[in-house]
Amino acid sequence: MSPATLDDEVQGGLVQARLAGDWTLATLGPQLSVLDARLRQLNARSAHWDLRAVTRLDSVGALLLWRAWGERWPDETAISETHRRVLVRAAGVTLPVRAVRAPYDPATPLLLVGRGTLTLLEHSLGVIALIGQIVLDLIYLIGHPRDIPWREFSATLYKSGAQALPVVALVGFLIGVVLSYLSSLQLKTFGADVFIVNLLGISVIRELGPVLVAVLVAGRSGSAMTAQIGVMRVTEEIDALATMGISSSLRLVLPKVLALSLATPLLVLWCSAAGMLGGMVSAHLEMGLSYAYFIDTLPKVVPVANIFIGLGKGVAFGVLVGLVACYFGLRVRPNTESLSAGTTSSVVTSITAVIIVDAVFAVLTRSQGIP
Amino acid sequence: MLGHHSLPAASPENAPVIAIRGLWTRFGETVVHRDIDLTVAAGEMLGLVGGSGSGKTTLLREIVGLLAPSQGTVELFGSPVQSDDPELRRRVRRRFGMLFQQGALYSALSVADNIAFPLRELRQLDEDLINDLVRVKLAMVELEPSHGALMPAELSGGMVKRVALARALALEPELLVLDEPTAGLDPDRSASFVTLIRTLQRELGFSVVMVTHDLDTLAGLATRVAALADQRIVACGTLAEVASMDHPFTRRFFASERAQAALQAAAR
């Protein structure tokens, strides 16, 4: 590789520009702007160009020259035939109109809101269509019980339910401990220590257990489902299923949604139990409340309706997370960006929807389960 | 004036483009390559052939440094591919372009951004020049400037190959590495792609190493053929020489009627 050089001299009133060496990306790179300025300057003095000593010319060098020449051939150019072809190729590229920035439109915020609303509407319609498809699949399965996808159902149950037990227990236990500890500090100042059982029982069984499990399931299983279905779309596996006459909604979506609707309430029960245990241990250590008293009081102050509310929430959240995960998975387009965006939307939407549905539950069950 | 001339271990001008010496590859107990030596001189177009599982693609991946050989060295332009110096490693990698079998276009970027990507990574060129260069590269591979706005998912198989070729040529490489350049193309497109590469090679003067099992591609492009079998290079020479070799693999590989037709076409 010989460096690119540019010499100029004045001969009989004429400016002679002599180029030599390799005019390639590798040699030009660091000194591009310097050479560019000198070339333009020489062109302004209508120099005669001598390129015969150039050993290599690539498209970077050619474009540099062509732009310096004001995108036309100078009057006097000495150049080898090979290099002329390279230059002609670079010159053949028509210049596009440089993008002009659009002026500010006062309606832009309005358009944004409108577009957002339309997207929301589109997603809602999509989810409703998916629910409809699942209902149709369920009706079909009643007539054809042999087609029930047991294997997929049990696989999802194992992956999303059984394998989630340790992490759910850990989270539930720690939340119970923390909640019990913080409440006991407050209750002690009122001398109302014994109400720790009421407080923990209602808040964990009715509210925290279901929501915590739903968030864990959305993050653990929902994201995995979206990614799995998304990759199956990218690799055309879903199309392969369709060509074999197998309904993707029946094989992929239905078992996932059903398995989650069974696994989530069970996890809620498990999480609430762990939370109670953590709260009980913490109350014992912090306030000296005996285990026997805790276990004895719990059923008296927390009506059994709370467990059913918790279980009901579990079913609803499970179905919700499953539906949202599958919906966003099926919408993935065949590129990596879409896959990551779909997974993010899936988890964010699931968690948001869970909180909203939880609020609806709170309003609907406000007269239930309070002693 | 130029930073890399002062650096040590800069490649000698006359070093071969590729120099493989005493290369062994083992995966566990399996020996894939047994003491392979191979050199490619500047301007040469080498075709690697071999049965499936003979380690052609493995050898290609070792040449571009995606895989380290178990033993032996691979040198590109006189510098080792597997070097400990990250600066040297990057400089060697910028001197060749690789065309992957499936194109390996970045699916999140448009065609134009895919081609501009290696140019932007240099951090030496201004955006206007990069845009012009992208259009030059698109024209080189016979695509319209308007194709630059398309996403890889919207391209046909032939176009993916062309865009991937344009990206491989973005940094004006001295060596082009092709992994099954015509796999998945119909014979017509495959022939025009071979013609395109040959035209570009004549104009730009790069060297080529390719793996292919397609005899028409081999006959159309390769100036030299190396046949991999029994973990070694059993034959290396012009297509006619390798085809006339007496070895079970070459006999099988070149025996079919189609192969004979391709050989005759190459001879003409």
**Residue of B13, B107, B133 lying closest to A60 (CB–CB):** B133
pLDDT given at position A74: 80
- Chain B residues with CB under 8 Å of A60 CB are 125, 129, 133, 172
The three-state DSSP-derived secondary structure of chain A is: CCCCEEEEEEECCEEEEEEEEEECHHHHHHHHHHHHHHHHHHHHCCCEEEEEEEEEECHHHHHHHHHHCCCCCCCCEECCHHHHHHHHHHHCCCCCCCCCCCCCCCCHHHHHHHHHHHHHHHHHHHHHHHHHHHHHHHHHHHHCHHHCCHHHHHHHHHHHHHHHHHHHHHHHHHHHHHHHHHHHHHHHHHCCHHHHHHHHHHHHHHHHHHHHHHHHHHHHHHHHHHHHHHHHHHCCHHHHHHHCCCCHHHHHHHHHHHHHHHHHHHHHHHHHHHHHHHHHHHHHHHHCCCHHHHHHHHHHHCCCHHHHHHHHHHHHHHHHHHHHHHHHHHCCCCCHHHHHHHHHHHHHHHHHHHHHHHHHHHHHCCCCCCC
Nearest C-alpha neighbor of A226 from the set A344, A127, A334: A344
CA of B124 vs chain A CAs: smallest distance (Å): 6
Q: Find which of A54, A58, A84 to mutate to test the B interface (most B CBs within 10 Å of its CB).
A: A58
Whether the pLDDT of residue A103 is over 80: the answer is no
Entry field: residues in chain A: 371
Q: Are B129 and A3 inside 8 Å of each other by CB?
A: no
CA distance B92 to A112: 48
3-state secondary structure of B26: strand
pLDDT band for position A165 (cuts 50, 70, 90): very high
**Long-range contacts formed by A64-70: CB under 8 A, 24+ apart:** A64/A23, A64/A28, A64/A32, A64/A35, A64/A36, A64/A39, A64/B129, A65/A23, A65/A39, A66/A90, A66/A91, A67/A36, A67/B129, A67/B132, A68/A36, A68/A39, A68/A40, A68/A42, A68/A43, A69/A39, A69/A43, A70/A43
**Residue of A64, A95, A333 lying closest to B153 (CB–CB):** A333
Compare A112 and A1 and report the one with higher pLDDT: A112
CA distance B239 to B222: 8
> Which residues, 6 or more positions from A184, have their beta carbon under 8 angstroms from its beta carbon?
A193, A196, A282, A283, A286, A287
Please count the residue pairs, one from chain A and one from chain B, whose beta carbons lie less than 8 angstroms apart.
76
Q: What are the pLDDT digits (tens) for A355-369? A: 999 999 999 998 887
Whether the pLDDT of residue A88 is over 80: the answer is yes
Instruction: Tell me the mean pLDDT in the region A341-370.
Output: 92
Q: Which string of b and e fits A339-349 if b means at least 16 CB within 10 Å?
A: bebbbebbbeb
pLDDT given at position A104: 81
- Chain A residues with CB under 8 Å of B140 CB are 59, 89
3-state secondary structure of B257: helix
Q: Which CATH superfamily is domain A5-91 in?
A: STAS domain (3.30.750.24)
Least-confidence region, from A109-123, A246-260, B185-199: B185-199
Instruction: Tell me the mean pLDDT in the region A174-202.
Output: 90
Give residue ranges of B with CB < 8 Å to any A CB: 1-3, 5, 13, 94-95, 106-108, 122, 124-125, 129, 131-133, 135-137, 139-140, 145, 151-153, 171-172, 203-204
- Chain B residues with CB under 8 Å of A67 CB are 129, 132
Strands A48-57 and A14-23: parallel
Entry field: residues in chain B: 268
Q: What are the pLDDT digits (tens) for A189-217? A: 888 888 899 999 999 999 999 999 999 99
pLDDT given at position B7: 38
Q: Find which of B6, B111, B125, B199 to mutate to test the A interface (most A CBs within 10 Å of its CB).
A: B125
- Nearest-Cα residue of chain B relative to residue A89: B136
**Residue of B106, B136, B171 lying closest to A93 (CB–CB):** B136
φ and ψ of B226, to 5 deg:
-120, 125
Query: Side chain identity at A371, as an amino acid letter?
Result: P
Identify the residue whose tokens are 């719990």.
A298
The verdict on ipTM greater than 0.85 is no
Whether the pLDDT of residue A326 is over 90: the answer is yes
Q: What percent of chain A has pLDDT over 90?
A: 54
Q: Are B122 and A31 inside 8 Å of each other by CB?
A: no
Domain residue extents for chain A? 5-91, 133-364
Whether the pLDDT of residue A146 is over 80: the answer is yes
- Chain B residues with CB under 8 Å of A89 CB are 136, 139-140
Whether the pLDDT of residue A305 is over 60: the answer is yes
Residue A288 CB neighbours (<10 A): 8
pLDDT in tens, chain B (268 residues): 343 443 334 445 567 889 999 999 988 888 888 888 998 988 889 999 888 778 888 898 899 888 889 988 898 888 888 888 888 888 888 888 999 888 888 888 899 999 999 888 888 888 888 888 898 888 888 888 888 888 888 888 888 988 999 999 888 888 999 998 888 888 888 888 898 888 888 888 889 999 988 888 888 888 898 988 888 888 888 888 888 888 888 888 887 766 777 777 766 6
Average pLDDT, chain A: 89
- Chain B residues with CB under 8 Å of A94 CB are 135, 145
